[in-house]
Amino acid sequence: MTVLPEHDHCKFCGDAVPFDRAYCSEKCYWDDRAASQKEKRNNLLFAAITVASVAAIAAAGILLG
């Protein structure tokens, strides 16, 4: 059985890295930031569409009711 040295894993790609590092490379760091920003933007868009949909349904209910 092979004993691996103490290590952690890159937050983006999962490769082994030393404990004092969160990413294996600068590319993984920037790719993770871009992915996080995209996810945040998508969540905001989803929330806006949800609020607009609920408002449209409520308005239709009031106008037709």
Supply the range of the domain harboring residue 54: 26-65
Whether residue 31 is contained in a domain is answered as: yes
Q: What global pTM score does this model have?
A: 0.74
Whether residue 11 is contained in a domain is answered as: no
Q: Could you state, in chain order, the average pLDDT of each consecutive group of 10 residues for the chain (65 residues)?
A: 85 94 97 98 98 98 90
Distance CA 56, CA 36 (A): 30
pLDDT score at 5: 81
Count of structural domains within the chain: 1
Distance CA 27, CA 10 (A): 11
Cα 33 to chain centroid distance, Å, stands at 9
- Element holding 30 (H helix, E strand): helix 26-64
Under 8 Å between Cβ of 18 and 8: yes
What 8-state DSSP symbol labels residue 11?
A: T
Whether residue 56 is contained in a domain is answered as: yes
pLDDT score at 52: 98
Question: What is the average pLDDT score of the chain?
Answer: 95
Whether residue 43 is contained in a domain is answered as: yes
Whether residue 9 is contained in a domain is answered as: no
